[in-house]
Chains A and B, each alone.
Chain A
Amino acid sequence: MTKSKLEYETLINKSLLGLLIFLGTEIMFFAGLISAFFILRAGSPSWPPPEQPRLPIQVTGINTLILLFSGCTIRQAVSAIRQGRSKTTTRWLLATGSLGVIFIGVQGYEWVQLVKYGLTMSSSLYGGLFYTLIGAHGFHVLVAIAVLLTVIIKAFCNRYTIDNHTGVELCQMYWYFIVGIWPILYTLVYLS
């Protein structure tokens, strides 16, 4: 009597599934922050408060375009590794990282200027909400840049191939998340 081995096809990589679940929790986290923003704003007599400094809409708008463009560059990186072009992948990943660093650098500079003009976490509800929402996103961008740096180093060492590039796809998914959430935060916090 012979035993037959049951063969099955894995639908999804375990790492990708884990990241999907993690991104779900992150989406809920930002949804909670956005809901709190709406409720606290609805309870304020005027928004933004008249005595608080105004946010730099134009500069942040350009920064938003930079971040959106970084979403395109990481997509090119994943397309390249799916075709087995590892050197092209590294170049696109470097471009993505550079755009991410520019984004976070501009954000940091804006924050320094806003603090100088008197908008701090404790100056008002407006300041507290601004730094909580935008700061949470900024922290996620920093983590994404750190992850991207690891992926770039591995790609530079030719660790990714046409059949094995899960790390690049994981990085892409997380990058899409931080790129996707930013226009929502920009519209709510800066444009409203």
Chain B
Amino acid sequence: MIFFHISVAVDACPKCFGTSSQQVFLTYYFSALFLSAIPFGIIVSSLIWLRLHKRRISHSKTLNNSSGKTSTE
């Protein structure tokens, strides 16, 4: 309640919001969207990579078990 009644104006960085340029506003919003989307992209890519990694390991284990492969050099 105290914080609700103490109304303080919070200004964002004047570099983006102190200008009247529409281009800067748009760039700011798209960059914010880009930065918000990056972590999800990282997580999805990591999951896909883990799946492929597991598949490759399973495949190589199957090959090793069937042929008894060892180091050649």
Q: Which residues of A contact B (CB under 8 A)?
A: 11-12, 16, 20, 24, 27-28, 31-32, 35, 38-43, 82-88, 161-162
How many chain B residues touch A (CB < 8 A): the figure is 28
CB of B65 within 8 A of chain A? no
Closest 7 CB pairs of A and B: A84-B71, A35-B31, A42-B27, A24-B42, A31-B38, A42-B24, A84-B72
22 residue pairs from A and B, CB less than 8 Å apart? A11-B54, A12-B54, A16-B53, A24-B39, A24-B42, A24-B46, A27-B42, A28-B42, A32-B35, A35-B31, A35-B35, A38-B31, A39-B15, A39-B27, A42-B26, A42-B27, A82-B60, A84-B69, A84-B71, A85-B72, A88-B73, A162-B70
Interface string of B18-33 (1 = CB under 8 A from A): 0101011011101110
Q: Judging by beta carbons under 8 Å apart, are A35 and B69 in contact?
A: no
Residues on B with beta carbons closer than 8 Å to the beta carbon of A40: 15
Cα of A143 to Cα of B30 in the assembled complex, Å = 32
> How far, in Å, is A156 (CB) from chain B's closest CB?
13
Do most interface residues of chain A lie in helix, strand or loop, or is the interface mixed?
helix
Partner of A43, one of B21, B32, B46: B21
Interface string of B31-73 (1 = CB under 8 A from A): 1101100110010001001100110000010000000011111
> How far, in Å, is A77 (CB) from chain B's closest CB?
13
Partner of A39, one of B31, B46, B53, B73: B31
